[in-house]
Amino acid sequence: MIIELGHFALILALFVGAIQICLPAYGADRGDPRLMHVAAPAAIVQFVLVAVSFLALMHAFVTSDFSVENVWANSHSAKPMIYKIAGVWGNHEGSMLLWVLILTLFGAAVAAYSQNLPLSFRARVLAVQASLSTAFLLFILLTSNPFLRLNPSPAEGQGLNPILQDPALAFHPPFLYTGYVGFSMAFSFAIAALWEGRIDAAWARWVRPWTLLAWIALTIGIAMGSWWAYYTLGWGGWWFWDPVENASFMPWLAGTALLHSAVVMEKREALKIWTILLAILTFSLSLMGTFLVRSGILTSVHAFAVDPKRGIVILAILAVFIGGALTLYAWRASSLKAGGLFQPISREGALVLNNVLLTTAAATVLIGTLYPLALEAVTGAKISVGAPYFDMTFVPLMLPLLIALPFGALLAWKRGDLRAAAQRLAAAFFAALLVGGFTMALVRRGPWLAPAAIALGAWVVIGACVEWGVRTKAFAAPFAETLRRASNLPRSAYGMLLAHAGVGIVAIGIAATSAWRSETVQVLVPGGTMSLAGYQLTFLGAAPARGPNYQETVGQFRVTRNGNIVTNLEPSKRIFDVPRQATTQAAILNAFSGDLYVVLGDAVENGRFVVRVYFHPLVRLIWIGALIMALGGALSMTDRRLRIGAASAARRRSTAPMAAAE
Amino acid sequence: MVSFLYRIKLCVVFIGVLIISLNVGAATSARAVEPDERLADPVLEARARAISAELRCLVCQNQSIDDSSAPLARDLRLLVRERLVAGNSDADVTRFLVDRYGEFVLLRPRFSSQTLVLWLAPPMLLAFAVLALWRRSRHRIDTFALSDSTSALTTDEARRLDKILSGLRERN
């Protein structure tokens, strides 16, 4: 019964969506406020309906109702509760429902919190947002319905892929989708602006909080996915340039560029046309990612051709929205007025450089991801584009970005003074050199480029500190003055400093762990020892154990350093009951200098085991840095000026006297 | 069948263990590489690892044979080491595998007419963007200069400006 209710709510949501497209759009064109006022309540009703249907599906998973095909195919009664809940989005149909849930949630949030938007503009934004959610509701109902029943009902389900039964991965999709789908806000605002043919700095202020929210969620989502890969996949790799990863990374790169160009637009009214295009492209990349992951085209072009129904529908959605948006852009962009002028060496110029490098990087990832598919489709030739390609093309684009970052933040708007910025950064430059030299002296092995990369990361972090010093006149003014200035700095400034420092920290982590990772593998008898990176491991033996829905073999290791016991580690190998599949659970010792990563391999005769041990220096900085970036974004979002809905109030205040003067 | 293969595997591993126990302190290496696969010569083993990282495990999704624990990846790893022991150069080994499995086995596609766009697109895009910006900024500076020299305010504009400024002063 509850399932049918959910199914019915989903169909209703489709119709509400259709109303939310037509009436407000018609009303906005006719200037009829009654029709435009339909948009906001419709958006909220649509969200409530999708939420009801989502909860109905969740109820079926929680109560293990195997008469629902989706639950039967993806769940099992013996699964821990957290994975029953996460199982809702651990499959194609459920994850698409989550996608639409978040899409309508953003629509409802605009309806609820953006009452300061001009009525016609809000009506158009919500109509565009509804066209997206309606298209995907149609997709779910036609090709991926999670509410189909089985008759007779099976007694037991087929279980969730064990590799997905992990706390970080359970909550990875909601974050990722909030990021992906959150960029739909920027898209809807861009289309609405093109539609109205009017765009100004206020647009950037309206869009910024939503884009920032999406960006924060995507940053956390990608970091969680990478963290999961690190400890699950058995040797500590944290990024594989896998098409699925690329699908989330491309919108992140474009979204990062969008956040920066929106700043220029907000402060200086420049780059307006470009920012609109970037908003369209960012969400287009999100849609592209959804297509890549959900159509099955990645597994093989042939698998896609065999059962193309889903893929074709998503492709059609993709073509309509991306094609339509770009056509509208080509048609209307010329009618938008170009904004303020600036010299190449200026804050705007630096942000343009940021945009050039980030969008080129996003394009590179896109080409590398799609090229094998396109080539096979056109010529039938099969090639692979793997990590070595991306390392060669992507990394060189990031180096100038990191070098320029501290300069850009110190340049003035309109016309900057590069020499003055360089003088202020001299201290950071020498400090970074010192860090590089110190690293070289400390490790004395590995590629010579690695200390340079560490120095580059340090340059960005110290550069952020210098910028704080310049803004607060630290050491240049009396302490009380510095303190006053520090407390007067807006939160968005602190957010930016923090996010930039996070970038440097990530760079340090990547450089260190890529250059100085060490590894060893041995076959050990109980009592046997091995050593790596100054640690000695003693294998105490392995014993079977039983988990809630798996059988495991747990290895016992004592870790010592210079004869002192550090800890005991217990890596294990699990074999799940349903489906019968094995996973490895690495045991990780987290130390200041890096992670000691122990994996229990296959059993050999007589209680011997293959044991793999890795040392990943400073690897945690990658995720700590990413979290600091997200934290910076969050801090910036709480800035009074940028809070959701604050923009238009501020705008009204600032434009009122001008109007009076005219 | 499976148990038979497993027994063979055990034998191989056991022999491997014997070899290792004779070679205490030999080159260390890991990822998916099994202890019995490693070569005694650390230089050769390092070359094998470097080659393996660039070769695709053909039955896996986007994994190198160095990372994958699939049986085919193991066969390829052993094959690479076999060729290296036989005295092949790195390029020989790669060519041998491409002849056998096609370009698909290479994670870093070779530069050819088929991959022209793949390799050239990123630098071309960057160059194009920089060129466009450079031309635009020159154009902009020209217009700057132009407007500085020609456009003094008309009396009407000056009056309006005064009005606006006085309005602002009152506000402050």
Instruction: List pLDDT tens digits, range A623-639.
Output: 999 999 999 999 998 88
| The last residue of a domain, from among A133, A164, A195 | A164
Closest-CA distance, B129 to chain A, in angstroms, reads 7
A201 plus A91 within the same structural domain? no
What is the structure's pLDDT at A284?
95
CA distances in angstroms from B162 to A275, A340, B168, B172, listed in the order given = 34, 22, 10, 15
- Nearest CB partner across the interface for B30, out of A519, A605, A661: A519
Domain that holds residue A217: 166-413
CA distances in angstroms from B16 to A45, B20, B40, B169, listed in the order given = 66, 6, 11, 88
What is the structure's pLDDT at B140?
57
Name every chain A residue with its beta carbon within 8 A of the beta carbon of B97.
none
> Quick one: average pLDDT of B62-71?
84
> Residue B35: pLDDT band by 50, 70, 90 thresholds?
confident
A386 plus A368 within the same structural domain? yes
Tell whether A16 is covered by a domain.
yes
> Residue A606: pLDDT band by 50, 70, 90 thresholds?
confident
Chain A CB within 8 Å of residue B18 CB: no
Closest-CA distance, B164 to chain A, in angstroms, reads 6
> Residue A339: pLDDT band by 50, 70, 90 thresholds?
low
Q: How many residues does chain A have?
A: 662
Helix (DSSP H) and strand (DSSP E) numbers for chain A: 23, 10
Of chain A, the percentage scoring pLDDT greater than 90 comes to 53
Name every chain B residue with its beta carbon within 8 A of the beta carbon of A341.
140, 143-144
What is the structure's pLDDT at A300?
56
> Quick one: average pLDDT of A540-547?
90
CATH of the domain at A124: 1.20.120
Quote the DSSP letter at residue A587. E
Residues paired with A68 in a beta bridge: A149
Distance CA(A428)–CA(A506), nearest Å, equals: 18
- Report CB contact under 8 Å: B125, A363: yes
A389 plus A270 within the same structural domain? yes
| The last residue of a domain, from among A481, A516, A551 | A516
Q: What is the pLDDT of residues A118-127, one digit of tens each?
A: 999 999 999 9
Distance CA(A215)–CA(A210), nearest Å, equals: 9
Tell whether A274 is covered by a domain.
yes
Q: Are strands A582-585 and A594-604 parallel, antiparallel or unpaired?
A: unpaired
Closest-approach residue (CA) in chain A for B32: A235
Chain A CB within 8 Å of residue B50 CB: no
Tell whether A393 is covered by a domain.
yes
A160 plus A183 within the same structural domain? no
Name every chain A residue with its beta carbon within 8 A of the beta carbon of B125.
360, 363-364
A181 plus A299 within the same structural domain? yes
Q: What is the pLDDT of residues A349-388, one digit of tens each?
A: 899 999 999 999 999 999 999 999 889 888 888 899 988 9
Tell whether A557 is covered by a domain.
yes
Better pLDDT: A217 or A492:
A217
- Report CB contact under 8 Å: B108, A392: yes
Q: How many domains does chain A have?
A: 4
A314 plus A400 within the same structural domain? yes
A228 plus A372 within the same structural domain? yes
A502 plus A526 within the same structural domain? no
Tell whether A217 is covered by a domain.
yes
Mean pLDDT of chain B: 74
Tell whether A231 is covered by a domain.
yes
Mean pLDDT of chain A: 88
Name every chain B residue with its beta carbon within 8 A of the beta carbon of A376.
none
> Quick one: average pLDDT of A596-603?
90
A429 plus A315 within the same structural domain? no
Instruction: Say how many C-beta atoms besides its own lie within 10 A of residue B169's C-beta.
Output: 8
A371 plus A292 within the same structural domain? yes
- Report CB contact under 8 Å: B118, A368: yes
Whether pLDDT at B25 is above 70 = no
Going along chain B from its start, the domains and CATH numbers come out as 2-110 (1.10.8.640), 115-171 (no CATH)
Q: What is the pLDDT of residues A463-485, one digit of tens each?
A: 999 999 888 888 888 888 888 88
> Quick one: average pLDDT of A162-166?
80
Whether pLDDT at A5 is above 90 = yes
A114 plus A227 within the same structural domain? no
Name every chain B residue with its beta carbon within 8 A of the beta carbon of A360.
122, 125-126, 129
Whether pLDDT at A486 is above 60 = yes
Whether pLDDT at A133 is above 90 = yes
What is the structure's pLDDT at A603?
85
Whether pLDDT at A12 is above 80 = yes
Closest-approach residue (CA) in chain B for A606: B14
> Quick one: average pLDDT of A295-307?
63
- Nearest CB partner across the interface for B67, out of A237, A388, A389: A237
Question: Residue A578's closest CA among A244, A83, A58?
Answer: A83
A149 plus A231 within the same structural domain? no
Closest-CA distance, A654 to chain B, in angstroms, reads 11
Tell whether A271 is covered by a domain.
yes
| The last residue of a domain, from among A135, A164, A193 | A164
Whether pLDDT at B54 is above 70 = yes
Q: What is the pLDDT of residues A169-225, one digit of tens each?
A: 888 889 999 999 999 999 999 999 999 888 888 888 889 999 999 999 999 999 999
- Report CB contact under 8 Å: A235, B31: yes
- Report CB contact under 8 Å: B35, A521: yes
Q: What is the pLDDT of residues A18-30, one digit of tens each?
A: 999 999 999 998 9
A371: enclosing H helix or E strand: helix A347-379
Whether pLDDT at A487 is above 90 = no
Tell whether A659 is covered by a domain.
no
Chain B 71-100, residues with CB within 8 Å of chain A CB atoms: none
